[in-house]
Structure formats: C-alpha cells, structure tokens
Chain A
C-alpha cells in the first residue's frame, strides 16, 4: 500500500483518542530502534517495509499495529530476531496471561 494520494477514498476520520499503553509501547520501541545509539534500521527502511504490507494485512490493522508488524519484519530482515523467537515469545506471554 503505497502512493495512495489522489485515489478515491471515503471521508477522513477525524476522531481522536488517547493512545493506549500498548500503542505508547510500540511508539517507544520504534523510537529506540531508530535512535542513533541503536540504529537497527532507518526511517526509510521503515517506510519501505510498511508500504510492502499486503493490502489485506494493511487494511485489517490499525496504525500502531502496522508499526508493530513493520518492526517485527525489519528485525527478522536484519537478523536481530528470528520469526521463531518472536512466535515463541508471544506464546509464552499468552500462556502467562492465562495462568
């Protein structure tokens, strides 16, 4: 999903909401990963990756969920995490939540 300017679209949704804790965490994670001291990836790689999300994935997720998918994808691309490590961590957290 890239270069959408000028295409037909519905009305702009102008409702605002306070960011949730999860959204704040994603925002913080993005800032840290792109900060000079960490520099896991740059903002242009981030944009390229978010634009590469398949249309159905892009439309199914909200703003910060797309950021999270993008972070995961870039960390795997850069070899900092594997998909299996991410899946294992999610499974462990879900198991904790059900205790």
Chain B
C-alpha cells in the first residue's frame, strides 16, 4: 500500500501535463481546483500499463470533487452542483483557496 500524499478535505489543483497518448485525466479538469473526498487505495498506473509496462510503483487513486461552475464558464445550473472524478496522485498538486 503506497502512502497517500493528500488527506480527505485537502484542496488540490489538477496538473496541466503535456498530452501524450493514453491519459486518464480529462482535459476539462486540467488546471482546475477540486477537493479530495476519499482515496480508493493504490493501483498500477494505467497510463504506463497501456504501453506494456507493469505500471509500478502503484499510485494512489482519489475521489476529487469539483464545482461544476469551476469547470464550465457558462454553467447555468445550481451553485451546489458538483462532479466527482477518480484521479491519480501524479495528476494532483496542493492548492490554496476556498
């Protein structure tokens, strides 16, 4: 079990890594801020397994919740509307704000 870097409730920003090949983080959350809701454990990295590697060491995989308003500039729904995504730790960095 890999030690997790982010605790539940932590604010994180999704890294805007260069796009190359098979990636598991959708473009619409890159650079956006969300909050850690939980961690499912650690898993071999699918972005490396897609190219024949064993994907080790395993990476922590988090539930990250985003406000829809933070993702879509023209979002017309409720302010409380949110979206939860599963994101691997190497895609996340600490963030500060509300």
Q: Which residues of A contact B (CB under 8 A)?
A: 2-3, 5-6, 42-45, 47-48, 51
Which residue of chain A lies nearest to B46 when distances are taken between CB atoms in the complex? A44
How many residues in B have their beta carbons less than 8 Å from beta carbons of A?
A: 16
Report A-chain residues with C-beta under 8 Å of the C-beta of B26.
3, 5-6
Would you list 19 pairs from A and B whose C-beta atoms are within 8 A, ordered by A residue? A3-B19, A3-B23, A3-B27, A5-B28, A6-B28, A6-B71, A44-B22, A44-B46, A44-B49, A45-B49, A45-B50, A45-B51, A45-B52, A47-B22, A47-B46, A47-B50, A48-B21, A48-B22, A51-B22
Q: How far is the CA of A6 from the CA of B51 in the complex (A)?
A: 26
Q: B22 contacts A6, CB within 8 Å?
A: no
Write the nearest CB–CB distance from B54 to chain A, whole angstroms: 10
Given contacts A44-B22, A47-B46, 6 further A-B contacts (CB under 8 A): A2-B23, A44-B49, A44-B55, A47-B50, A48-B51, A51-B22
